[in-house]
Amino acid sequence: MYLPDSAMTSEEDAQEARSKLLMIMGRIGTSQSIVLDKLENSCLERLCADFNKFDETSCNQMIAKINAYPAMDKNKEPFLERVQNHITSIWAKEDSGTFDKLFLSTNLLVPAEVQKAKTLIQKQDRANAGKDYLKALNLCTYDNIKRARKSQMPSAKIYLCSGFILEILGFLIADLTYEFFLVGCIFNTPGLLLIGYYLWMKRIYNTLTFKKRPIHSILNTQVPLTTVYPAHQFDKSYAAKPVPPATPVPPANSTNSSKPIDATFASNHTSNDSSLKHP
């Protein structure tokens, strides 16, 4: 069947052409038609125009309109999926903003706070936007945070440079003769370890910062950890050190009062006092 051009632009003409097409399909006993699919897809495209600009409420209304529209289910499914994907992207953006605030306000060195943040993310995550946050929170230990901070310090480049130097020396020595091959390996092995350690620290840092999110204050190397959080909240050795008892300070003018009174001295003064009395 030939479709008039107006059926591709006018809803009224499209429904009229669809009715005629369904009548013809019924006569020949078929339920599939390329022409019908083309017509319904054109109508659904017109119905879903600019849905990418919609908010969640408008998208849900659009889904209801698509479901109620007279078209075959197989032609509706791609449009329903596109609108649902847009809703998911809205959720992901909203959840990421919420999780950013939660992550940045969490003391990453207190296990109880980290666990609380993980529980909240798992409960509120609607679009799998919390995957990176959970991965970062799972790495939040005292040692890993020290490594992440260390990777941003200029001294961390020493690991990388030393590793490359050892690798170059190892290859040069091993290339001399066969007898020097094992000597070269002696240089290569620590070189690989140093390079691997540096890359490991960088990976921890990238995981904790998501490579693009705002950086948590605890990872700011310009500020010492003791400034960000009190020492007892992160320093493992702090709790292990016994706190010496405070030395009592004697009150002023109390030197003589703290000494016991001699009994003989007391009795002599008593007798002297009695001799001074008048008869």
- Which of 168, 150, 170 shows the shortest CA–CA distance to 159? 150
pTM for this model (two decimals): 0.65
Residue 246, C-beta contacts closer than 8 angstroms, at least 6 positions apart: none
Number of H helices, E strands in the chain: 12, 0
**Do 177 and 156 touch, CB atoms closer than 8 A?**
no
Q: How many CB atoms lie within 10 A of CB 150?
A: 16
Kindly report, residue by residue over 175-226, the tens digit of the pLDDT. Answer: 666 666 666 677 788 888 999 999 999 999 999 988 666 788 888 777 676 6
Identity of the residue numbered 169: L
User: Virtual CA dihedral for 255, 259, 263, 268, nearest 10 degrees?
Assistant: -10
Highest mean pLDDT: which of 134-143, 161-170, 268-277? 134-143
Per-residue confidence (pLDDT) for residue 213, from 0 to 100: 67
Query: Which pair of structure tokens corresponds to residue 256?
Result: 């003589």
Query: Which of 6-15, 55-64, 197-206 is the least confident region?
Result: 6-15
| Mean pLDDT, range 100-110, rounded to an integer | 91
